[in-house]
Amino acid sequence: MSVRIIISTEETRLKFGQRIQRCYGCFVAFYMKDMWLGEDATYYCEHCKDDTMFHFEQFSRVLDVSKLPSLQTDKEPH
Ligand SMILES: [Zn+2]
């Protein structure tokens, strides 16, 4: 394990969270850290999200935010 890699990943995550993104539902701009990720890399605010979406705190930790890969929905908790 490399501490340096963990730190730089966290930095990338925090920077990513400061980006402005327009909600696909209501078209209001929000910080990424306040948004939810839906399928097809669409982002929604807390008013427009639904239960299938992932909050920034979740997806930013499990996904490589620098590459923004498509979501894998193999384990969907109910
Ligand atoms: Zn919205």
Query: Can you give the pLDDT of all 78 residues of the chain as single tens digits?
Result: 566 767 778 888 889 899 999 999 999 999 999 999 998 889 999 999 999 999 999 988 887 766 654 444 455 455
What pLDDT score does 78 carry? 54
For the chain, the distance separating the N- and C-terminal CA atoms, rounded to the nearest angstrom, is 33
pLDDT for 72 equals 43
Structure pTM?
0.70
| Burial class, 41, CB count within 10 angstroms (exposed 0-12 / middle 13-18 / buried 19+) | exposed
CA of residue 35 to ligand 1 center, whole Å: 9
Q: What is the pLDDT of residue 61?
A: 83
Domain boundaries, the chain: 3-62
Position 12 scores a pLDDT of 86
E strand or H helix at 14 = helix 3-17
Measure 17 CA to ligand 1 centroid, in angstroms: 17
